[in-house]
Each structure stands twice: as structure tokens, then as C-alpha cells.
A and B are shown apart, each in its own frame.
Chain A
Amino acid sequence: MTITEPGTQSAEDNTNAVPTPTDNLNDHKPNGFGRMLRKEDPRLVRGRGQFCDDVQVPGMLHLAILRSPMAHARIVSIDKSAAEAHPKVKAVVTGADLAEHNLAWMPTLSNDVQAVLATDKVRFQHQEVAFVVAEDRYSARDALELIDVEYEWLDPVIDVRQALAPDAPVIRDDLEGKTDNHCFDWEAGSKDDTEAVFADARENGIVVTEDIVYPRVHPAPMETCGCVADLDPVSGKLTLWSTTQAPHAHRTVYALVAGLPEHKIRIIAPDIGGGFGNKVPIYPGYVCSIVASLLIGKPVKWMEDRTENLVSTGFARDYIMRGEIAATKEGKIRAIRTEVLADHGAFNGTAAPVKYPAGFFGVFTGSYDIEAAYAHMSAVYTNKAPGGVAYACSFRITEAVYLVERMVDVLAYDLEMDPAELRLQNFIQPEQFPYESKTGWVYDSGDYEPTMRKALDMAGYAELRAEQEEKRSRGELMGIGISFFTEAVGAGPRKDMDILGLGMADGCELRVHPTGKAVVRLSVKTQGQGHETTFAQIIAQEIGIPPDDIDVVHGDTDNTPFGLGTYGSRSTPVSGAAAALVARKVRDKAQIIASGMLEASVADLEYEAGTFRVKGDPEQSVTIQDIAMRAHGAGDLPEGIEGGLEAQICYNPENLTYPFGAYICVVDVDPGTAEVKVRRFVAVDDCGTQINPMIVEGQVHGGLADGVGMALMEMISFDEEGNCLAGSLMDYLIPTAMEVPDWETGHTVTPSPHHPIGAKGIGESATVGSPPAIVNAVVDALKPYGIRHADMPLTPSRVWEAMQGNHTPPI
């Protein structure tokens, strides 16, 4: 498949494009968009990637962190003498030591502060208390056992519903004048307009209300977080190999926190073993490693173990929501309202644009054309690990989509309507785009009904309903769940969106070498999404240099232009646009040089796939490779044109992009054991123009498995003393190949009108869209029990309780 203009991409499915050994797909190299094997794979399948823990620097020492056993306690004393006496230990550092250098606290990405090492008290279980640097990793951990900390127990705040009680212990007494656990309040939409519609609906229509919990989950990438800090004592330059999705943003934050001059900081994000948002924040371990290297004058490595990753790094979700829909009796949705209680843990470590403390939760009105909407949120501190935005959520759109898609099913239940029909009759219509939602979001483009119909066709919806009816008559529990989501991704326009004052734009630089090969440098960083392939394809599409002739450089702040990094599905919407535009800039210059070479005016040339031709005389042509040599060669160039063929830009998106999709899940619930089996999952996504359908499909698949995990298995839970009960992969269950079905995917193509190649982003669509489809399917299976709602995770015991009429929220 090759396409030139947005809108012309074939919408045929790639579901069945499973290669066989006789296909020679290695030879299938599109000079632009299309299925292309990944450029990163040859090294990764040979075990020759370089992940953070693979980095070895001569003289490197190892750092390990001592963590608090309690959720809330005052630190009475720390005796580190025994640890310091360990023969292999080089340093033992506590919060008090850091405080002497004014480094005990650091800013979070939400303008809060977080302790690097606790000084006064610990505020969540496993909070960082001290670190040891030793000659090898085993000794560093041995020495942790030798540190003696005396704690004085303080009552913790674990039940989020009690966090604002007048007698609740105050967690953040480090903040001046803080007398409660309130973090922030946020609202969107019109309270009065919404209440007016609800009042009318209570009289003349229907109002449904449901309490919905999105429990705390964790992204748990297979590679944990870590770094190697190497601060050269002579030059003063810090090189930090780090598991970061946002190397440039991290560099600036380190400059601000540690007072290091920014040109003396080089962040290298090597191969990253999955990120999903977990590798956006700056964690105390990174700062400790930098401090250690500074103190000792040697390179220092820190790698979390799995428990540390699960219990202390960026969690996700943790919203308690009350959802309400006002509708007519015929099922026209008129207004949506929600009240949210958000648990942000001990520090507000959310990574979201500063003006959006609730992320993009404001898109909770979903894909529906309604009269009014209102949301109010209270966010609170509790004695739990900090975080909040992580795990492929597109800045809280997971929560928003789950709320609205669960609520629409609740409405369908009460109206006894088919959930597919109910959605179809409420969609925003194609002619309404660009559509401004009642909470102020401008949806760029959409055509929802064909996507929905395609999913229904692929699933064989009518047959499934017939099968369900027949099974129900035999007492079998089969459920069919639908969700239809719209996301807002690609943050974002710098007039509205910044993180710690850094505008959310992204740079891109392209240099074409004399022989017509090229290097493109990106500000974003892949964690498995395949940027080395797709960005080469974008350049190829625009200037006709084959992707294999284009080197993609990323993840090294000394060698790439500034930009905010990869999260919130923003690489393609923002950086992908930058890549297309920088290539066009090079193409414009190439055309001027071509005009000199062909002795024709610029306007008389036409461009196609890497070749400029004289209009009407196609024999007269030069290729981009010819032009590259001329640009660097000794020959004449047109008047006023400098030598070289390169360009750099910084792309500031004019709007977000709004991918959407229709998901249908089929489950069977065992009436005897309450075990849920996901039998089928059909996903039809529309992410606009697709750069590489193979990679798009892979992104969707991964997110669907995430959805199964969240809906059925995963939860970071705590006991009432604040002990984290999900500190290992034995306790925090992640789907294996046995829990997920073979995915059935399809797509439609509705390009973004404002994106240079019409692409919208796909990285998080399935993580956002799949949980409601699965939960809706389970609830649908349980319909014979009169169940209208049940909260995730729908483990056998929780489903069993629901079947017995005892369903309780998980928190």
C-alpha cells in the first residue's frame, strides 16, 4: 500500500496479513507508508539491544535504596555506621545528608514536591529513606540490611473516602500551612445547564446513576526503571543513561533540581523495555544516582527490582466516580455528569500539562452529541505511592472512556435497549466535525457509524445475540460487551499545554548526506513502538529516500533537538508531524536546486516519489540523490541558495488529534467457578492515516491485553495499615498468553484534517477502549442475576460475590 495524500489510504484490513515463510516480506519495502519490517528488530532478536542495565562503564559502582516498611511514620533516628563499615560500601546517604546540599526534595511534574529521601517522615510504604553505594549489586543490597532506622508510627490515611475527614492525619505537613489532605479541585462543563437538563429528565425522561471505581493499577513494563549516572569530575559533565520516555524534559528538570548547567547534562535513553507511562516521571532513584556520582566521582548504576517498581513508581487510575446520565425514554442521551474522588498518593506526581490537573478527563462526554455536561473532581493525598498518570492512559482518558462507556450500558440496561443501537443513535454525526464538546474539546474529525458497523459485522453481532439467548435458556453465561471510544491525543498546542513551563512542542532535524542517504533526529523516544522504522517511513514518504537509507537518531539529548518526549500517544501526532514538515522543507530546497540542474523554473517542476520532473517533459528529471550530491558538490547552485541539504523545525500542534474505535468483546462466565474467559475480541480502530499497518496492529494488540489485565486481573491494593499487597508479579497478575484470545482487528481511515499526514496516534487507543468492552461483556453475562454494574478487577471471587448479590467496590 502506498499513499500520497491523507484520505486516499485503503481501508482494507490487515487482520489476515499474517506472513507465511514463502512470502518474501523482507523484500517488501515501501518507499513510504505501508507494511514494513522493523529496522530495530535485527539487533533485538540477536540479544544485541542495549537496555539500561546492559550499560557497563569502567569503575562503575552500584546503588541500592532502603525503603520504609511503614506507610506513615516519623523518622526518629538513622544509624548507618554498620553499613558504612561494610568493606565494599563506598557511601551511605540519608535524607539528612541530602538536606545539607538542599537536595532532599525535588519538584514533581505537577508543581508539587516529592522527597528524594525522607527527612522528617515517611509518607508511603516503600518510600525512599537512604541509599547505599557499593562495589557490586549484591553488596549494596547486603548493606541495606545494616542500616538501622527507628520509626515512630503515625496513623495512615489509606481509605481515600476518609482522606478529607476533619480528624484525618495530615500527610503533607511539609507544605506550609497545610491542615488537610486536599490536593486540588477541578471542574469542567456547565453545572447549571447540566442540572437543568437533569431536572427536566427526572420529570419527563430517565436519569441513571452508578458508582464506578477504576482501581489503582500499574504499568509494570518488563524492564524496571533504572539509570547509570556518570558525572565527570574534571569536565563537570553528567552523562545519564536512563529509562526515560522524555529525555529532554528530564534534562531540563535535572538542571533545575540539581543546579547543574543544562549544557553539562547529557541524557541517553538507550533501548527501553516498555514504558507505558511508567518512565515519564523523575524518580528519587535517578536523583540519588546523580548525587552519588557527584559525591564519589565514579559512575553509579541503579536498577530497581520488580517489587520496587510495583510499589513505588508511577501507578495509574485510582478514581472513584459517580456517573449520571440524563436521557429521554427513547434513549437520546441529553447530559452526562460525574463527581470524582481522585487518589493521588502521598505526592502529586502526575505528569500532565499543568493547566490540566485531571489530565484530559474532560473528554468524558465520549462520542456522543449531548446538550450539557459537568464534572467535578476532588483530588486528595493518601499514604500511598505517588503517580497518577501512567499506563497508556492518554492523560486520564482511560478513566473518562470507562466512565461514559460503562454508563451508556447502565442506561441501556434500564431502558432495555440494545447497547449497540443506543450508541448508534447518539453519535456525533460526520457533518458536525470539527465538533466542540460541551466541555470545550474540539474533535478534529470523525465518522463513527461506519466504524461501529464494521465492528458489528466482524463480530457477527446478530448471531452472537442469538447464541446468547439460546445459551441463557440453558443456564449458560455468555456476555457481549461493546465500547466506542474517542481519544484526544498529541499534546499539545503550546498556548494551552506545558509541563513545568515547557511547551509541548517537538523538534525534528533532517540531514541528507551527499550520497543521498539521510539522518533524522527526533526529540521523542521509542519504548517499543518502532520509531526507527516509522519515522524513516515518514521521511521516505515525503522525499523519496528509501527507509533503509535513513538513520533515525533518538534518545540522546546531545544529538537530538529539544522536545517533550513519548507519552500520551503524542509521537506520531506531534513528532510525526515535525518529521513530515522538516522533510517538506528539505524537499522545497531540493526543488530549487533541481530547477537549476534542469534549467527550468521551480514552478515548472513536479515531484513524485523522490524525483523532480519538468512538467510536460518527463524525460528531464533528477532524483533526490542527484540533488543531494549537487547540494554538497562543487557545481553551481541557484542564486541565493546555500550548500547542503538539511533542515530543522519545531512543530507546535494546532489541536489535539481524536482517534476513535469500536470494540466488541465476547466472554463466557463459568457459573460454577465465576471464572471469566475472554472468548473473542474484535477491535476496529480509526487512527487516521496509518504509517505502518503492521505496527498499528501491534500497538492495538498490546493495549487489548492491557485491557484484559485491568478488567479481570490487575489491581494495586493495600491493607488498612497501608501495606501494599501487590508487590510482586505473583500478587499483581498480568495476563499471559493463556488469558487473552487471538485478537481480531480492523480499521477505518478518517484522517486528521490538521495533521500534515493525517495521522492521529494509536499507542493507547486499545488500553483506553478495551476495559469497558470487557466489563460490559461480563456484566451482560451476569444479566440473568439482575446485575447492572460490577467493578474491576472482575476476578472469579469478585464475580462470584456479584452473582450472590454481594458485589462491593474494590476500594
Chain B
Amino acid sequence: MEVTMSVNGDDVSQEIEPRTLLVHFIRDHLGLTGTHWGCDTSNCGTCVVWVDDEPVKSCTTLAAMASGHDVRTVEGMEVDGVLDPVQEGFIQCHGLQCGFCTPGMMLTARALLDRNPDPTDGEIREAISGQICRCTGYSTIVRSIQWAAAKERETPVEVGAS
């Protein structure tokens, strides 16, 4: 079957097997390998991407379900050479070690901050609770997201433009 979608603003259209998972479509067909895969049961969240501004687990989404929608991956977070404050926060606060969970964590964080620019630590923890990081113990991830929130409060960025 043919699927057509916008991925990080680029229109793509490809012939695929109907059973193709969105994660495999993004990684293997489009070559965007920043989105990862880490489990068989929708538990780990290393595969999180956005479909129309909503973080979804791309391992549990058929590529066909994303057809006709806007998909955004970690590769689309940096715009015109400027990192999203969330990406910057992860660097500043040591929010990553191996970096495998990081793309999914950052996309969830971005979605949280778009809805709630001043989250509590507890709200951040809840937002990322569908995702697992085996390296950081989470405190530095919470700090990273708080760093981004603080930065955006100081220099408001246009929501969705980052």
C-alpha cells in the first residue's frame, strides 16, 4: 500500500507492506535513525515521535495510521541550526548518558512544555513515566526539562516553532 505523510516538514510517499510499523518506516525506509526501538510491549518509549503534535509510541503505530498526518522526529527538533531548548537542557544538565532513550524523552518533554510551560518536578516525572531510561536515574532528565522550561520563560519561544 502507499502511505503519504509529512515527516519533519518534508512530504514523503512510499509503497510499503500494510503491517509496517511506523518505527520501522521511519528508521528503515526513511533512514531517520534517531528514533529508536527498545521493547516489544509499548513499555520503553525509546520510539516516541509526534503525530500531529501528540507524542505517540511509533512501535505501536502502523505507518498506515500516520498516513495523511504530520510526523515529527528528533531530527526535526533543531531548526535552522538552533537547538530546541529541550535539547540544550539535556546537554547542560547531563540528561543523557548512552543517549538511547533521549530522543523519545526529549519529544515527550517538548510536548509537555508546549502545554505546561512551568511544570513541577512531579508533573515532569509523570509526563515521562511511560518511558524508561536505564542510565540516568531520571533526576538529571527532570533537571534538563526544568532548564528548558526556565529558558523558555526567560526568552519565550514560539510554540511549535522550535
| A510 to B156 CA separation, bound complex (whole angstroms) | 45
- Is the pair B132, A47 in contact by a Cβ cutoff of 8 Å? no
Q: Give per-residue flags for A3-44: 1 if the beta carbon is below 8 A from chain B beta carbons, else 0.
A: 000000000000000111111011000000000011011101
Q: Which B residues are in CB contact (< 8 Å) with A694?
A: 94
CB distance from B68 to the nearest CB of A (A): 23
> When each residue 27-53 of chain B gets 1 if its CB lies under 8 Å from chain A and 0 otherwise, what string results?
110011111111111011010000000
16 residue pairs of the A-B complex, CB under 8 angstroms, read: A19-B92, A20-B150, A21-B147, A41-B96, A46-B87, A47-B32, A54-B33, A138-B20, A222-B36, A223-B36, A274-B100, A527-B98, A704-B137, A736-B130, A737-B128, A742-B121
**Of B20, B96, B151, which contacts A45 at CB under 8 A?**
B96
**What is B's interface to A at a CB cutoff of 8 Å?**
17, 19-20, 24, 27-28, 31-41, 43-44, 46, 73-75, 77-78, 83, 85, 87, 90-94, 96-103, 106, 121, 124-126, 128-143, 147, 150-151, 154
Q: Given A45-B83, A45-B90, answer yes or no on A729-B75 (Cβ-Cβ < 8 Å).
A: no
Contact B87 A138 (CB under 8 A): no
Interface flag for A71 (CB, 8 Å): no
Interface string of A688-709 (1 = CB under 8 A from B): 0000001101101111111000
B94 smallest CB distance to A (angstroms):
5
Chain B residue with Cβ nearest A54: B33
The reply to whether B93 and A21 contact each other, CB–CB distance below 8 Å, is no
Q: Contact: A738 with B126, CB < 8 Å?
A: yes
- B residues near A528, Cβ cutoff 8 Å: 96-99, 135
Residues from chain A with a CB closer than 8 A to the CB of B131 are 736
Residue of B nearest to A49 (CB): B99
Q: Is A512 at the interface (CB under 8 A from chain B)?
A: no
From B20, B33, B83, name the one whose CB has the most chain A CB atoms within 10 angstroms.
B33
The number of residue pairs between A and B whose CB atoms lie closer than 8 Å in the complex comes to 194
Would A736 and B129 be within 8 Å (CB), given that A37-B91, A41-B91, A271-B98 are in contact? yes
Question: Would B38 and A51 count as touching, CB distance under 8 A?
Answer: no
Q: Kindly identify which residue among A46, A51, A704 contacts B78, using a CB–CB cutoff of 8 Å.
A: A46
Cα separation A365 to B73 with both chains bound (whole Å): 51
A38 touches B94 (CB 8 A): yes
Taking each of A46, A307, A529, which has the highest tally of chain B beta carbons within 10 Å of its own beta carbon? A46
> Which of A53, A138, A702 is close to B136, meaning CB atoms less than 8 Å apart?
A702
Chain A nearest CB from B133 CB (Å) reads 7
List residues of A (202-232) whose CB comes within 8 Å of B's CBs.
Answer: 219-224
Per-residue B-contact encoding for A755-769, CB less than 8 Å = 1, 0 else: 000000000000000
A residues near B126, Cβ cutoff 8 Å = 737-738
Are A56 and B136 CB-contacts (below 8 A) given A20-B147, A222-B38, A742-B121?
no
Is B137 within 8 A of A222, CB to CB? no
Question: B37, B126, B139 — which one has the most chain A CB atoms within 10 A of its CB?
Answer: B139
**A145 to chain B: closest CB distance in Å?**
14
- Structural contact, A697 and B94, CB atoms closer than 8 A: yes
For the complex formed, measure the closest distance between the CB of B158 and the CB atoms of chain A, giving whole angstroms: 17
The minimal Cβ–Cβ distance linking A537 to chain B, given in whole angstroms, is 14
Question: Given A45-B96, A702-B97, A729-B44, are A734 and B134 neighbors across the interface (CB < 8 Å)?
Answer: yes
CA–CA, A274 and B135, complex, Å: 7
Q: Closest B-chain residue to A707, C-beta based?
A: B137
The answer on a CB contact under 8 Å between A138 and B17 is yes
A176 to B109, CA, bound (A): 58
Assess the A46–B129 pair: CB atoms within 8 A. no
Q: Is the CB of B98 within 8 A of A21?
A: no
Residue with the greatest number of chain A CB neighbours at <10 A, chosen from B40, B46, B97, B140: B97
A753 at the interface (CB under 8 A from B): no
Closest to B147 in A: A21
- For B143, what are the chain A residues with a Cβ–Cβ distance below 8 Å? 18
Chain A positions 276 through 314: 1 when the CB is less than 8 Å from some CB of chain B, otherwise 0: 100000000000000000000000000001110000000
Q: Are the CB atoms of B129 and A737 closer together than 8 Å?
A: yes
Q: Using A221-B98, A276-B134, A737-B138 as known contacts, say yes or no to A51 and B93 having CB atoms under 8 A apart.
A: no
Chain A residues near B133: list those with CB within 8 A: 222
Closest residue to A273 on the B side, CB-wise? B100
Contact B74 A46 (CB under 8 A): yes
Please, which residue of chain B has its CB at the minimum distance from the CB of A743?
Answer: B139
Partner of A738 from B20, B125, B141, B154 at Cβ < 8 Å: B125
